[in-house]
Amino acid sequence: MNTKRWIALVVAAAVLGISLVINSAFAFLQGGFSESVDEIMGSTQTGLSEVVMEDGDYNSRVAVLNVDGVIQDTGDAASFFGTTGYNHSFFMEQLENIKEDESVKAVVLAVNSPGGGVVESAEIYDKITEIQEETGKPFYVSMGAIAASGGYYIAAPAEKIFVNEETLTGSIGVIMQSVNYGELAERYGVDFVTIKSGPYKDIMSPTRDMTDDERALLQEMLDDSYESFVDVIEDGRGMTEEEVKAVADGRIMNGRQAVEVNLADDFGFEEDVIDQVKTDFDLGNAQVFQYGTSQGWSSLLSMKVNSFFGNDIETQMISKLLTEYSSPRMMYLYGDK
């Protein structure tokens, strides 16, 4: 065996070993250990808490919901390292609470997201429309620095959408990506052996080129999700299919352009949107609040761990590697995954 092959085998074995150790330790710390800490310290409380942003009438309230980061269901894997970001289950819990809480009369959805998973975006959209239809509670959207692709998808059903002039939005479309490192592996003498039950079982394999049939199969799937995206905007914005598709080619646009093509209604920051929803629905004395999490001892421990390691770029990269899905999937997403 030549030197290159020995080097490749040693590197592969080292990477595998390190990966197993990290994942095993991480699973222990994230799972049983943190639960044991809560049990020992007598605190297993989790769930929603409320933070009052503006005091007022408790029986007539405006809820501010925040979508910050990539809309992707990664569970709670990143919480031990204390990193912040979007938590899908936590956000869905907020929406369910909004539906059941009769004191909430209106919702401001603050979106600062490049989008995310097709399934997660659709789940949020379905829940928002369910709340609107069953309770009549209005949703106003406040777009932050970016509200693109899936970030726009979840905003589309809102009664009004507000942007900043420099907000990045649009990017209406679907994307699916993978990496092909077959030639690199071949250069170092690494051979991949695949045994499969059907011709498409290893579709989008990172070890070989994609066939024309495979590409056509995936394109059909993406086109179907794209049409669903177009339908969502037609329904939410009262636009025709022709009007939507004129700008639904993946292009990014700023807030001024979004207002011009009817993808947004007006300009304003979050506080302006809150004031507007109060005015429009006679909620001048409403209490304004947002949700937080009830912190158990394991959550406090996570904060200490984060403080010990430092929230530096290396820690963020490790967290990203541990929490991101490795298999390709359809995304309503602007920019690289």
C-alpha distance across the termini of the chain, in Å: 38
DSSP 168-187: EEE--S-B------HHHHHH
Tell me the Ramachandran region of residue 261: left when phi exceeds 0, alpha when psi lies from -120 to 50, beta otherwise. alpha
Q: Which two tokens stand for residue 147?
A: 């509200």
Q: In angstroms, rounded to a whole number, what is the distance separating the alpha carbons of residues 75 and 55?
A: 33
Q: In angstroms, rounded to a whole number, what is the distance separating the alpha carbons of residues 282 and 142?
A: 19
CB neighbours of residue 135 within 10 Å: 15
326 given a catalytic annotation: no
Q: Give the pairing of strands 160-163 and 168-170.
A: unpaired
Query: Which residue of the set 196, 201, 304, 320 is catalytic?
Result: 201
Query: Which residue of the set 149, 298, 302, 319 is catalytic?
Result: 149
Q: In angstroms, rounded to a whole number, what is the distance separating the alpha carbons of residues 183 and 133?
A: 53
320 given a catalytic annotation: no
HEC string of 13-64 equals HHHHHHHHHHHHHHHHHHHHHHHHHHHHCCCCCCCEEEEEEECCEEEEEEEE
- 131 contacts: CB under 8 Å, gap ≥ 6: 95, 98, 99, 107, 137, 139
Q: What are phi and psi of 162, to 5 degrees?
A: -115, 140
Which one, of 280, 331, 324, 274, lies nearest residue 121 by Cα? Answer: 331
Active site residues: 149, 201
